């Protein structure tokens, strides 16, 4: 049976779509929260795989769509990185209780760091999958950045969708204002960063750089030599589930 999609109205904004499964009464462990990547949603293979595992374990799990994505309301091109951070914070505050394990895929890995900094008393663990903090800085050429600033947005072909990959000036400016890798990231919980070394979108070296900047001593980077950006093969999913199973 498919999960029922629920909605939470964001004050002054769109209705946010989410799926939430509470923990079984006798099961301990932090609530798992999956943060999708850019132009992605809560119906992706990794999110659904984690959700299925959480149900088997009786763990609480929250999946969500950012404003303008998936089943949530709003226009994608009106959103910024911080708008999406606020979406996540609202859903965590209103829907979940207790400690949180954030699982961030690609851009979701940037958001998980921003959310952890905003809710230090709630976030216990971080699991990044090809985490891409600061990608508005390193992910574009100077010409592309100038195009975004000049034309208001940049449209590129996407290998993951028939729709073009759109980066708006609003999103780019928001990302540029919320870069993290130039200073210490004040998080002290457990951090696990999974990254494929054949990732053509987010160089795996950024997981090493992220690990270096996070203040916690409990940080591990797991490199998958033949892994691509998605890390969605059966063996990649198994690695993700195994990683989660070792965290409380």
**45/48 Cα distance (integer angstroms):** 5
Q: Which of 67, 72, 106, 174 is catalytic?
A: 106
Please state the φ and ψ torsions of residue 243, each to the nearest 5 degrees: -60, -45
From the list 12, 22, 192, 199, the residue with the least C-alpha distance to 98 is: 22
Which is nearest to 93 in space by CA: 10, 175, 213, 195?
Answer: 10
Q: Left, alpha or beta for 111 (phi > 0: left; psi -120 to 50: alpha)?
A: alpha
Please indicate whether residue 143 is annotated as part of the active site: no
Residue 245 known to be catalytic: no
Is residue 247 within 8 A of residue 238, CB to CB? The reply is no
Task: Tell me 83's DSSP state.
Answer: H
Q: Half-sphere exposure (CA, 13 Å, Cβ side) for 86? A: 14
CB-based burial, 43-53: b 16+ in 10 Å, e otherwise: bbebbbbbbeb
Alpha-carbon span 221 to 213, nearest angstrom: 13
Distance CA 79, CA 171 (A): 7
Question: Which residues fall within 8 angstroms of residue 13, CB to CB, at 6 or more apart?
Answer: 67, 74, 83
Active site residue 97: no
- From the candidates 30, 51, 83, 229, which is the catalytic residue? 229
Radius of gyration of the CA atoms of the chain, in A: 17
- Catalytic pick among 51, 87, 199, 236: 199
Q: Which residues have a catalytic role annotated?
A: 106, 199, 229
């Amino acid at each position: 049976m498919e999960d029922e999609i629920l909605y939470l109205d964001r004050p002054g904004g769109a209705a946010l779509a989410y799926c939430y499964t509470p923990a079984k009464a006798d099961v301990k462990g932090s609530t798992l929260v999956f943060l999708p990547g850019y132009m992605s949603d809560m119906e992706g293979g990794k999110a659904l795989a984690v959700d299925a595992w959480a149900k088997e374990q009786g763990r609480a799990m929250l999946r969500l769509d950012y404003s303008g994505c998936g089943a949530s309301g709003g226009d994608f091109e009106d959103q910024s990185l911080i708008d999406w951070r606020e979406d996540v914070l609202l859903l965590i505050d209103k829907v979940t209780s207790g400690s949180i394990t954030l699982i961030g895929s690609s851009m979701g890995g940037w958001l998980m760091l921003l959310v952890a900094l905003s809710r230090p008393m709630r976030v216990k663990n971080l699991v990044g999958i090809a985490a891409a903090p600061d990608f508005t800085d390193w992910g574009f050429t100077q010409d592309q950045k100038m195009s975004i600033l000049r034309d208001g947005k940049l449209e590129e072909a996407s290998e993951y969708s028939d729709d073009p990959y759109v980066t708006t000036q609003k999103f780019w400016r928001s990302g540029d204002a919320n870069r993290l890798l130039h200073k210490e990231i004040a998080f002290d919980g457990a951090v696990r960063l999974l990254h494929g070394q054949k990732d053509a979108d987010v160089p795996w070296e950024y997981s090493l750089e992220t690990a270096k900047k996070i203040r916690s001593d409990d940080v591990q980077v797991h490199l998958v030599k033949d892994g691509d950006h998605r890390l969605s093969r059966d063996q990649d999913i198994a690695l993700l589930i195994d990683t989660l199973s070792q965290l409380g």
